[in-house]
Structure 1
Amino acid sequence: MGTFVKAWTIVLLVKLSYAGKSVDVITSSGLNTLEEEEILRVLSRNESTSVNNFTLIELIDNRRNHTIETEDTWHEEKLSVPHTSNFFYDDYSEEIDREARRLLQVLPAFDPGVGRVSPECKRHTEIFHRELAKFTLWALKMYDATAKIPSGLLNGNVNQFGDFDECVEIEGSDRIQGQYCLAYLQLSVDESRLDLKHLHRLIHSHYAFRSNITDPGHRVPRFNIVNWAVCTPASCSFKDVETSIHEMLTRYTSQTGLKVTVKVNKDMCQIKSKEPVPNETIFVSLLVMAIFVLTIVAALYDHYKIPASELLLSFSLKRNFKKLVSLERRQNDIATLHGIRAINALMLLLAHKSMALFFNPYANRTEMSEYLGKPWTVIGRAASLYTDPFIMLSGLLTSYSFIGKLKKTGNLDIKDEYVSRLIRIVPPLATLILLCTYVIPYIGSGPQWNLVITEHANICKNTWWRNFLFIHNYFGFESMCLTHTHHLGIDVQLFIFSPLMVLLLYKKPKIGAIILTVFALFSTALRYFVTYYRELSNYVFFGTSIKQLFDTADFSYTLPSHRLTVYIIGIFMGYLLRYLPKDYKINKVVLYTGWILCTIMCCCAFFGPAGMGSINYIYNPIDAAMYNAFAPIGWCAIFAWATVMYHTGNTNDWFTRFLAWKGFLITTRLSYAIYLTQFPIYFYNVGRTRSAEHFAFFSMQFDLNEFLCIIILSIILTLLVDTPFQNIKGYLMKKSEATKQLSKVQ
């Protein structure tokens, strides 16, 4: 009670001393802007001893952020608990008080205790403020680790990650631990204010992607959302942090044309983990080590010619490495397919890399968007186009293999074909799921780590079974484990129906050709009408909304019915290559006409939508529908024509010779592993990014260190898992064939 009387006595004395004068202490500092709760909270710091009290006059004076005192007006009263953690304070109390006051006038500290937050959060916030006023090191670090308003906002430098490592390493008094929270802020402006709309466009880098704060962000970047880091005591929950940020921003924006929506996710508030590594992680790590040891042991048996089971020798590192680097072609090899794979795999790597780049903060993000808003960026925007040749090649090889067996034996063992397919693709897929779910989340950290790594791992823990049933592409892109493997689901589902398509074409060529053509046309029409009426876009145009991208994936891109056209083209190609003799010659007019038409179709598919990448493009559903319906056909046409012409000896130009280069045999053997490993590596680097960089297109888009990492991990996955299980598959198939032959003899 004595403290309260003293405080109000000082207020009355000040009023009397300013009688008849203009009192600008109250008006200039804006007492009406101070919340009653904040006044009481600051006054509650007062101690029973008067020398430790913090008065209302000091509070009001301390809130005058538009001026800086030129003389020492800091009172002798002590603004902290009696026992501070800063052991320098007793010797330099006056200097520290003065310097702390001036610093916090210029750069006020974030206050996690504002608003309706938990009592423990408030209590620890009080301790933080008191220790900050004494320049205690841990409090200064918490203050320092929180993001500050930077320069370059109009150049898109709005995503501020603060200092992640400094924050999570904090251990303060009263068992206070540092907590790093990455908050999401959605800025909206008064639409009648053209001046604000112009600034808003620059801040958000011309809306290269249009996103909402509620959009999922673990696989597609929420480009329009501001990421802002704050460092708080760990006792403040994510809801406390959201409340305090909202309260503070509301005070500054309540009378402006700006509105801010705040969202803080639980997983985006991180502390230094002290939990032991889960048993599952230890088990998976031991399993990987056991496979590695097995390959070494098998290599020793193989090298020293020690008798061993063929199953053991299937894991021989020596034998598998020789297979990987061998340039010897198999019998009936279709030479150009290896180059087609390599070209499209490289294009896909670059396209996926460009998507990952949009997750990171950049000091010149607006300049980056203007640079990428050029027509030539079609190279990265047409990511969906580069997967179509893989589907076509899958149909081609399936048809080519099945018809070869039908011509040789007259029948097709469908069960063996399905088992062979599963042995080929499941082991590397299972290995990657185990690593992404149980190992990778524990080998790194960073501001966005929980968003792009941990959240994805949690999805895999719940939905991994869908991947092994190859139905994961039907459950929505946002809840898919290993989203980039949707292609596997499509491929397996089309493969299941491939025996029916091939048998129909083999036994009834004319009727089969007509039926398959009708299905191909139906698939093309389906892509067109679904894209048009749902306003989808398979091409990433400038200003694409995140919702539009997810809808496109869910309603078109990940559905086998929409990818059937190019698969049927592959079925027809496999049939032709089996029946056309290698010395078959076609008319020169037909040859050149085919090259001209296919080249035009390829150019239209690739360069046709370039205008949609312009920064001024306005979405047109007809453009999107035409692209989705016909671009896959045009892009695949040039590769299909080159393959048929080269295989039948009708051409030997530089393009087909390049596609048939023997070096691409190695990339073919690595292609499946490269396909699997690229996304985990890209997002690993996104998750560990800690600060904004200056965007430079070539050095970032063509990150040689990252590509080298993908190649190395792909080689390891191929040698340790992929090739050994292919060897096992070959061994089992030979054994099964021998058993069948023996039963026939008997």
Structure 2
Amino acid sequence: MGEKKFKMQTFARKVMELSKHQNHFRRDVLYVGLCVPPQSAIPAISRGLEGSLRDAAKQLGVTAEVTTDEGACQMQQQQRPHRAVHLLTGFGIFVITVLVAYGTGYDAFRRLQKHEVPVETKRTRFLLCFSLIANFKKLCAISCSEAHSEFQAIQGFRTVTACIFMLPHVFMALVIGPIRNPEWVEKSYLNIFWASIYSSSVYLAVFFCISGFLLSYLFLREMDGRPVFKLSDFFVVVIQRYVRLTPVYAVVIAFVTSWYIHMGEGPMWNTLIGTEVEDCRRHWWINLLYFNNYFELEEMCMPPTWYVAADFQCHIVSLLLLILVWKHHWCAKSVLA
């Protein structure tokens, strides 16, 4: 009996030591899901579980503590309240869907009728902005401009780096909840392929470096021969970038704050998805101002979107530095050092 107890205590110590490693999951924390009657009291369940585990914990030479998360509790056929944001988001998505369907149908009809003529009216130009056919052709089109032909390889490498640093966010979403084989995840840190994927900050630095180079080239080419750069030009560039990024971003935020919580259910749904929804309901405006990588970091709305804010900020700062260097060549060395 004494030998068995000694082995159990040794095992418990190994579990504690293994859990301290930063690349390991915590083996000393167990997540248990129970099906209980709706009228059950959460504190009573905690006391019952803690009493059951106390004797086993003494044999292992450790202490056991039970914590219950009432927010993770779900009832069968649980009804979630609908708010005004649900109606507004649903209506907005419906309008966009109708415009896409109508614009795509109109574009397809024009092409079948072989009306390959420039669009004259504002109405038809507006509809074609939502055409899947027209937008897909633009995405697949190869630009013949001088700037594009000179930097095709760099643009391609920039695209590859963007895809690579997105992978860790996808992988993180897969392992953030309970998984069957945590040991595989832990060993993946020792695999050169997965280690290179996890080192996304390196690829992100390369991406920002390439983006800065391309912005500098386009800015200097645009300013070649121009006598002045007005302050209004700077604000026009910033507003254009904001307008280009924000509409789709705002739709995603609106969806997360409203309908996202209704897309599933389960023992971890409220803990993971519910928390993110509540964070977005409180701090959505920080995301739309592109400051979410500086404020409320513990309650960030859609954490992977920190990159969008960083990219927007770097674009503005880089543009300001380029204007400074272009106007005052003597300070270029100090600014770029």
Question: Hey, what's the Cα distance between the residues in 2 that align with 1:325 and 1:392?
Answer: 25
Matched, 1:346 2:163: yes
Question: Hey, what's the Cα distance between the residues in 2 that align with 1:253 and 1:224?
Answer: 11
Deviation at 1:321, TM superposition (A): 1.9
Matched, 1:320 2:320: no
Normalized per residue, the structure richer in helix is: 2
What do residues 510-534 of structure 1 show as CA deviations (whole Å, max 9, x unaligned)? 52123221xxxxxxxxxxxxxxxxx
Matched, 1:474 2:279: no
Deviation at 1:210, TM superposition (A): 6.2
Question: Hey, what's the Cα distance between the residues in 2 that align with 1:224 and 1:356?
Answer: 22
Deviation at 1:375, TM superposition (A): 4.9
Question: Hey, what's the Cα distance between the residues in 2 that align with 1:316 and 1:408?
Answer: 38
Question: Hey, what's the Cα distance between the residues in 2 that align with 1:269 and 1:454?
Answer: 11
Question: Hey, what's the Cα distance between the residues in 1 that align with 2:168 and 2:45?
Answer: 36
Alignment of 1:565-580 (within 5 A): none
Question: Hey, what's the Cα distance between the residues in 2 that align with 1:426 and 1:384?
Answer: 24
Question: Hey, what's the Cα distance between the residues in 2 that align with 1:239 and 1:274?
Answer: 21
Matched, 1:379 2:221: no
Match of 1:234 in 2: 38
Q: 1:411 aligns with which of 209, 219, 228?
A: 228
Q: 2:304 aligns with which of 479, 484, 490?
A: 484
Deviation at 1:484, TM superposition (A): 1.0
Deviation at 1:331, TM superposition (A): 4.3
Contact residue 89 and residue 255 of structure 2 kept, 8 A: yes
What do residues 47-70 of structure 1 show as CA deviations (whole Å, max 9, x unaligned)? xxxxxxxxxxxxxxxxxxxxxxxx
Q: State the structure with more CA Rg.
A: 1
Question: Hey, what's the Cα distance between the residues in 2 that align with 1:197 and 1:341?
Answer: 47
Provide closer, same or farther for how the CA distance between residues 199 and 502 of structure 1 changes in structure 2, counting only shifts above 3 A: closer
Deviation at 1:370, TM superposition (A): 5.7
Contact residue 405 and residue 411 of structure 1 kept, 8 A: no
Matched, 1:493 2:313: yes
Question: Hey, what's the Cα distance between the residues in 1 that align with 2:106 and 2:172?
Answer: 45
Contact residue 80 and residue 262 of structure 2 kept, 8 A: no
Deviation at 1:225, TM superposition (A): 2.9
Question: Hey, what's the Cα distance between the residues in 1 that align with 2:313 and 2:329?
Answer: 23
TM-score by length of 2: 0.81
What do residues 644-686 of structure 1 show as CA deviations (whole Å, max 9, x unaligned)? xxxxxxxxxxxxxxxxxxxxxxxxxxxxxxxxxxxxxxxxxxx
One-letter amino acid of the structure 2 residue matched with residue 507 of structure 1: K
Question: Hey, what's the Cα distance between the residues in 1 that align with 2:307 and 2:274?
Answer: 23
Contact residue 433 and residue 460 of structure 1 kept, 8 A: yes
SS in 2 for 1:402: helix
Alignment of 1:327-726 (within 5 A): 327-333=142-148, 334-366=151-183, 368-369=184-185, 371-376=187-192, 377-412=194-229, 413-517=233-337
Provide closer, same or farther for how the CA distance between residues 457 and 329 of structure 1 changes in structure 2, counting only shifts above 3 A: farther
Contact residue 25 and residue 186 of structure 2 kept, 8 A: no
Deviation at 1:480, TM superposition (A): 0.6
Question: Hey, what's the Cα distance between the residues in 2 that align with 1:506 and 1:393?
Answer: 20
Contact residue 354 and residue 380 of structure 1 kept, 8 A: no
TM-score by length of 1: 0.39
Match of 1:681 in 2: none
Provide closer, same or farther for how the CA distance between residues 492 and 362 of structure 1 changes in structure 2, counting only shifts above 3 A: closer
Question: Hey, what's the Cα distance between the residues in 1 that align with 2:75 and 2:309?
Answer: 37
Contact residue 209 and residue 224 of structure 1 kept, 8 A: no
Alignment of 1:155-304 (within 5 A): 194-200=10-16, 208-209=23-24, 225-254=29-58, 256-275=60-79, 278-279=82-83, 280-302=85-107, 303-304=109-110
Normalized per residue, the structure richer in strand is: 1
Deviation at 1:194, TM superposition (A): 4.2
Provide closer, same or farther for how the CA distance between residues 237 and 378 of structure 1 changes in structure 2, counting only shifts above 3 A: same
Deviation at 1:497, TM superposition (A): 2.7
One-letter amino acid of the structure 2 residue matched with residue 294 of structure 1: L
Provide closer, same or farther for how the CA distance between residues 300 and 362 of structure 1 changes in structure 2, counting only shifts above 3 A: closer
Provide closer, same or farther for how the CA distance between residues 227 and 362 of structure 1 changes in structure 2, counting only shifts above 3 A: same
Can you give the 5+ residue segments of structure 2 that lack an aligned partner in the other structure?
1-5
Question: Hey, what's the Cα distance between the residues in 2 that align with 1:386 and 1:238?
Answer: 47
Deviation at 1:493, TM superposition (A): 2.3
Contact residue 352 and residue 383 of structure 1 kept, 8 A: no
Match of 2:3 in 1: none
SS in 2 for 1:459: helix
Provide closer, same or farther for how the CA distance between residues 417 and 483 of structure 1 changes in structure 2, counting only shifts above 3 A: same
SS in 2 for 1:332: helix
Deviation at 1:329, TM superposition (A): 4.0
Provide closer, same or farther for how the CA distance between residues 208 and 224 of structure 1 changes in structure 2, counting only shifts above 3 A: farther
One-letter amino acid of the structure 1 residue matched with residue 250 of structure 2: A
Question: Hey, what's the Cα distance between the residues in 2 that align with 1:370 and 1:397?
Answer: 38
Deviation at 1:258, TM superposition (A): 2.0
Contact residue 296 and residue 316 of structure 1 kept, 8 A: yes
Contact residue 394 and residue 491 of structure 1 kept, 8 A: no
Deviation at 1:408, TM superposition (A): 4.1
Provide closer, same or farther for how the CA distance between residues 503 and 388 of structure 1 changes in structure 2, counting only shifts above 3 A: same
Contact residue 24 and residue 186 of structure 2 kept, 8 A: no
Can you give the 5+ residue segments of structure 1 that lack an aligned partner in the other structure?
1-189, 212-222, 518-746
Deviation at 1:335, TM superposition (A): 1.1
Deviation at 1:392, TM superposition (A): 1.8
Deviation at 1:372, TM superposition (A): 2.0
Contact residue 238 and residue 266 of structure 1 kept, 8 A: yes
Question: Hey, what's the Cα distance between the residues in 2 that align with 1:227 and 1:452?
Answer: 14
